[in-house]
Amino acid sequence: MVEKKILGSVTLETPCGVLKGNERENCFEFLGVPYARAGRFEYAAAVESRDGVLDATRPGPACPQNRAWHEHLEDPTRRFYKREFREGSVFSYGEDCLNLNIFTPKEAENCPVVIFIHGGGFDSGINSEDPFDGAGLAARGIVTVFVNYRLGPLGWLTHEEIQKRYGRDGNFGLDDQLTAIRWVKKNIAAFGGDGDNITLLASPCRAVRRTRAPTGWNSWPLRAVKALRS
Protein backbone atom coordinates (compact mmCIF):
# COMPACT_ATOMS: atom_id res chain seq x y z
CA MET A 1 0.00 0.00 0.00
CA VAL A 2 1.30 3.44 -0.94
CA GLU A 3 1.22 5.89 1.96
CA LYS A 4 -0.51 9.19 1.25
CA LYS A 5 0.16 12.29 3.33
CA ILE A 6 -3.05 14.18 4.08
CA LEU A 7 -2.44 17.84 4.89
CA GLY A 8 -6.01 18.71 5.84
CA SER A 9 -9.53 18.88 4.48
CA VAL A 10 -11.16 20.94 1.74
CA THR A 11 -14.81 21.75 1.05
CA LEU A 12 -16.21 22.06 -2.46
CA GLU A 13 -19.68 23.11 -3.59
CA THR A 14 -20.92 21.20 -6.64
CA PRO A 15 -24.26 21.01 -8.50
CA CYS A 16 -24.93 17.75 -6.65
CA GLY A 17 -24.16 19.13 -3.20
CA VAL A 18 -21.25 20.00 -0.93
CA LEU A 19 -18.27 17.65 -0.66
CA LYS A 20 -15.62 17.42 2.04
CA GLY A 21 -12.39 16.05 0.58
CA ASN A 22 -8.70 15.74 1.39
CA GLU A 23 -5.89 18.19 0.74
CA ARG A 24 -2.61 16.61 -0.35
CA GLU A 25 0.66 18.18 -1.36
CA ASN A 26 -0.13 18.60 -5.05
CA CYS A 27 -3.86 18.05 -5.26
CA PHE A 28 -7.28 17.81 -3.71
CA GLU A 29 -9.01 14.43 -3.68
CA PHE A 30 -12.71 13.66 -3.39
CA LEU A 31 -13.29 9.96 -2.78
CA GLY A 32 -16.37 7.78 -2.95
CA VAL A 33 -18.46 10.45 -4.70
CA PRO A 34 -21.80 8.86 -5.75
CA TYR A 35 -22.67 9.39 -9.40
CA ALA A 36 -25.76 7.16 -9.53
CA ARG A 37 -28.05 4.84 -7.59
CA ALA A 38 -29.44 1.53 -8.80
CA GLY A 39 -31.43 -1.35 -7.41
CA ARG A 40 -30.37 -4.90 -8.14
CA PHE A 41 -30.76 -5.65 -11.87
CA GLU A 42 -32.00 -2.12 -12.51
CA TYR A 43 -30.43 0.57 -14.67
CA ALA A 44 -28.71 3.38 -12.84
CA ALA A 45 -30.26 6.79 -12.19
CA ALA A 46 -27.74 9.62 -12.00
CA VAL A 47 -27.36 11.52 -8.72
CA GLU A 48 -28.64 15.04 -9.28
CA SER A 49 -28.50 16.49 -5.75
CA ARG A 50 -28.07 15.62 -2.09
CA ASP A 51 -28.57 17.35 1.24
CA GLY A 52 -25.87 18.21 3.73
CA VAL A 53 -22.11 17.76 3.35
CA LEU A 54 -20.87 14.47 1.91
CA ASP A 55 -17.76 13.04 3.55
CA ALA A 56 -15.54 12.33 0.53
CA THR A 57 -12.36 11.68 2.50
CA ARG A 58 -12.29 7.90 2.00
CA PRO A 59 -13.12 5.56 -0.89
CA GLY A 60 -16.62 4.22 -1.27
CA PRO A 61 -17.58 0.55 -1.51
CA ALA A 62 -16.72 -1.57 -4.53
CA CYS A 63 -19.04 -4.06 -6.17
CA PRO A 64 -19.06 -7.49 -4.43
CA GLN A 65 -16.65 -9.81 -6.24
CA ASN A 66 -14.68 -13.03 -5.85
CA ARG A 67 -11.56 -11.18 -4.78
CA ALA A 68 -13.52 -9.74 -1.87
CA TRP A 69 -13.66 -13.20 -0.33
CA HIS A 70 -10.66 -15.10 -1.70
CA GLU A 71 -7.28 -13.43 -1.33
CA HIS A 72 -5.58 -16.06 -3.52
CA LEU A 73 -2.54 -16.07 -1.25
CA GLU A 74 -1.86 -19.73 -2.03
CA ASP A 75 -2.35 -19.39 -5.78
CA PRO A 76 0.98 -18.52 -7.47
CA THR A 77 -0.81 -17.11 -10.51
CA ARG A 78 -2.51 -14.50 -8.32
CA ARG A 79 0.41 -13.32 -6.19
CA PHE A 80 1.54 -10.57 -8.58
CA TYR A 81 -1.88 -8.94 -8.66
CA LYS A 82 -2.21 -9.15 -4.89
CA ARG A 83 1.23 -7.65 -4.31
CA GLU A 84 1.01 -4.87 -6.89
CA PHE A 85 -2.62 -3.82 -6.48
CA ARG A 86 -3.92 -4.78 -3.03
CA GLU A 87 -1.16 -5.65 -0.57
CA GLY A 88 -1.81 -3.92 2.75
CA SER A 89 -4.98 -2.18 1.58
CA VAL A 90 -8.44 -2.55 3.08
CA PHE A 91 -11.52 -2.32 0.85
CA SER A 92 -15.24 -2.27 1.51
CA TYR A 93 -17.84 -3.95 -0.67
CA GLY A 94 -21.55 -3.41 -1.25
CA GLU A 95 -24.15 -3.14 -3.97
CA ASP A 96 -24.35 0.64 -3.49
CA CYS A 97 -21.05 0.91 -5.33
CA LEU A 98 -21.57 3.50 -8.07
CA ASN A 99 -19.00 6.06 -7.00
CA LEU A 100 -16.02 8.03 -8.26
CA ASN A 101 -12.62 9.04 -6.92
CA ILE A 102 -11.76 12.50 -8.26
CA PHE A 103 -8.32 14.15 -8.10
CA THR A 104 -7.92 17.82 -8.98
CA PRO A 105 -5.05 20.33 -9.18
CA LYS A 106 -5.20 22.86 -6.36
CA GLU A 107 -5.66 25.75 -8.78
CA ALA A 108 -7.82 23.84 -11.22
CA GLU A 109 -9.65 25.84 -13.87
CA ASN A 110 -10.86 24.43 -17.19
CA CYS A 111 -8.36 21.56 -16.94
CA PRO A 112 -8.34 18.54 -19.25
CA VAL A 113 -10.04 15.50 -17.75
CA VAL A 114 -9.01 11.85 -17.75
CA ILE A 115 -11.59 9.18 -16.86
CA PHE A 116 -10.11 5.79 -16.02
CA ILE A 117 -12.22 2.62 -16.11
CA HIS A 118 -10.50 -0.28 -14.36
CA GLY A 119 -10.15 -3.78 -15.77
CA GLY A 120 -10.54 -7.11 -14.01
CA GLY A 121 -12.12 -9.50 -16.50
CA PHE A 122 -15.62 -8.06 -15.98
CA ASP A 123 -15.87 -9.71 -12.54
CA SER A 124 -13.35 -7.90 -10.30
CA GLY A 125 -11.55 -4.61 -9.76
CA ILE A 126 -11.80 -1.48 -7.62
CA ASN A 127 -11.29 2.21 -8.39
CA SER A 128 -9.18 2.67 -5.24
CA GLU A 129 -6.54 -0.01 -5.80
CA ASP A 130 -3.00 1.23 -5.18
CA PRO A 131 -2.06 2.26 -8.76
CA PHE A 132 -5.22 4.35 -9.16
CA ASP A 133 -3.98 7.59 -7.62
CA GLY A 134 -4.47 10.78 -9.62
CA ALA A 135 -2.03 12.95 -7.65
CA GLY A 136 0.69 12.68 -10.30
CA LEU A 137 -1.60 13.82 -13.11
CA ALA A 138 -3.07 16.55 -10.90
CA ALA A 139 0.44 17.93 -10.47
CA ARG A 140 0.52 18.23 -14.28
CA GLY A 141 -2.75 20.14 -14.42
CA ILE A 142 -5.10 17.24 -15.20
CA VAL A 143 -8.31 16.30 -13.40
CA THR A 144 -8.50 12.50 -13.01
CA VAL A 145 -11.60 10.41 -12.31
CA PHE A 146 -11.61 6.69 -11.39
CA VAL A 147 -14.90 4.83 -11.81
CA ASN A 148 -16.51 2.01 -9.84
CA TYR A 149 -19.22 0.04 -11.65
CA ARG A 150 -21.13 -3.21 -11.21
CA LEU A 151 -19.32 -6.49 -11.87
CA GLY A 152 -20.02 -10.18 -12.36
CA PRO A 153 -23.70 -11.20 -12.34
CA LEU A 154 -24.70 -7.85 -10.81
CA GLY A 155 -23.22 -6.08 -13.83
CA TRP A 156 -23.70 -8.48 -16.73
CA LEU A 157 -26.51 -10.94 -16.03
CA THR A 158 -29.41 -10.95 -18.42
CA HIS A 159 -32.72 -12.76 -18.20
CA GLU A 160 -36.01 -12.81 -20.04
CA GLU A 161 -37.62 -10.80 -17.22
CA ILE A 162 -34.99 -8.08 -17.68
CA GLN A 163 -35.68 -8.11 -21.40
CA LYS A 164 -39.41 -7.77 -20.81
CA ARG A 165 -38.97 -4.92 -18.33
CA TYR A 166 -36.46 -2.82 -20.25
CA GLY A 167 -36.58 -4.05 -23.82
CA ARG A 168 -32.85 -4.75 -23.81
CA ASP A 169 -30.33 -7.21 -22.41
CA GLY A 170 -28.90 -6.21 -19.03
CA ASN A 171 -25.32 -4.98 -19.45
CA PHE A 172 -25.83 -2.93 -16.29
CA GLY A 173 -22.08 -2.55 -15.78
CA LEU A 174 -21.66 -0.98 -19.21
CA ASP A 175 -24.62 1.31 -18.60
CA ASP A 176 -23.03 2.33 -15.27
CA GLN A 177 -19.90 3.42 -17.10
CA LEU A 178 -21.83 5.54 -19.59
CA THR A 179 -23.84 7.06 -16.73
CA ALA A 180 -20.58 7.92 -14.96
CA ILE A 181 -19.14 9.62 -18.04
CA ARG A 182 -22.29 11.66 -18.52
CA TRP A 183 -22.19 12.66 -14.83
CA VAL A 184 -18.57 13.76 -15.18
CA LYS A 185 -19.30 15.80 -18.31
CA LYS A 186 -22.17 17.55 -16.55
CA ASN A 187 -20.51 18.20 -13.19
CA ILE A 188 -16.74 18.27 -13.65
CA ALA A 189 -16.57 22.05 -14.11
CA ALA A 190 -17.20 22.38 -10.37
CA PHE A 191 -13.93 20.47 -9.85
CA GLY A 192 -12.04 22.70 -12.29
CA GLY A 193 -12.32 20.35 -15.26
CA ASP A 194 -13.36 20.92 -18.87
CA GLY A 195 -16.32 18.69 -19.73
CA ASP A 196 -15.59 19.12 -23.45
CA ASN A 197 -12.01 17.83 -23.09
CA ILE A 198 -12.35 14.29 -21.72
CA THR A 199 -9.97 11.43 -22.44
CA LEU A 200 -11.30 7.98 -21.60
CA LEU A 201 -8.70 5.40 -20.55
CA ALA A 202 -9.57 1.75 -20.05
CA SER A 203 -7.62 -1.30 -18.94
CA PRO A 204 -7.62 -4.45 -21.10
CA CYS A 205 -11.13 -5.86 -20.65
CA ARG A 206 -12.58 -2.35 -20.68
CA ALA A 207 -10.71 -1.58 -23.89
CA VAL A 208 -12.24 -4.67 -25.47
CA ARG A 209 -15.66 -3.46 -24.33
CA ARG A 210 -15.03 -0.02 -25.86
CA THR A 211 -14.22 -1.52 -29.25
CA ARG A 212 -17.14 -3.98 -29.16
CA ALA A 213 -19.66 -1.76 -27.43
CA PRO A 214 -23.24 -1.20 -28.61
CA THR A 215 -24.42 1.86 -30.45
CA GLY A 216 -24.73 3.89 -27.24
CA TRP A 217 -20.94 4.04 -27.07
CA ASN A 218 -19.96 4.33 -30.69
CA SER A 219 -22.34 7.23 -31.31
CA TRP A 220 -22.06 8.88 -27.90
CA PRO A 221 -22.70 12.64 -27.83
CA LEU A 222 -20.00 13.46 -25.27
CA ARG A 223 -17.39 14.94 -27.58
CA ALA A 224 -14.68 13.16 -25.62
CA VAL A 225 -11.57 11.46 -26.89
CA LYS A 226 -11.55 7.67 -26.48
CA ALA A 227 -8.14 6.14 -25.77
CA LEU A 228 -7.69 2.39 -25.30
CA ARG A 229 -4.99 1.16 -22.95
CA SER A 230 -3.73 -2.34 -22.29
pLDDT tens string 210-228? 444 444 555 454 555 555 5
Residue 205 neighbours by CB under 8 Å, 6+ apart: 119, 120, 121, 122
> What's the confidence (pLDDT) of residue 221?
47
Cβ contact 199:116 at 8 Å: no
Strand 99-105 versus strand 143-147 pairing type: antiparallel
Nearest to 30 by CA among 225, 195, 184, 149: 184
Residue 54 neighbours by CB under 8 Å, 6+ apart: 17, 18, 19, 20, 33, 34
> What's the confidence (pLDDT) of residue 122?
84
The residue-averaged pLDDT of 113-125 equals: 88
* Backbone conformation region of residue 186, classed left if phi is above 0, alpha if psi is from -120 to 50, else beta: alpha
Single pTM value for the model: 0.85
The mean pLDDT value of the chain amounts to 85
Answer CATH for 8-228 from 3.40.50.300, 3.40.50.10490, 3.40.50.1820, 3.50.50.60? 3.40.50.1820
Lowest-pLDDT range of 4-18, 27-41, 85-99, 182-196? 85-99
pLDDT tens string 124-172? 888 888 788 999 999 999 999 999 999 999 999 989 999 999 998 889 9
pLDDT tens string 64-108? 987 655 555 556 666 655 665 666 677 889 999 999 999 999 999
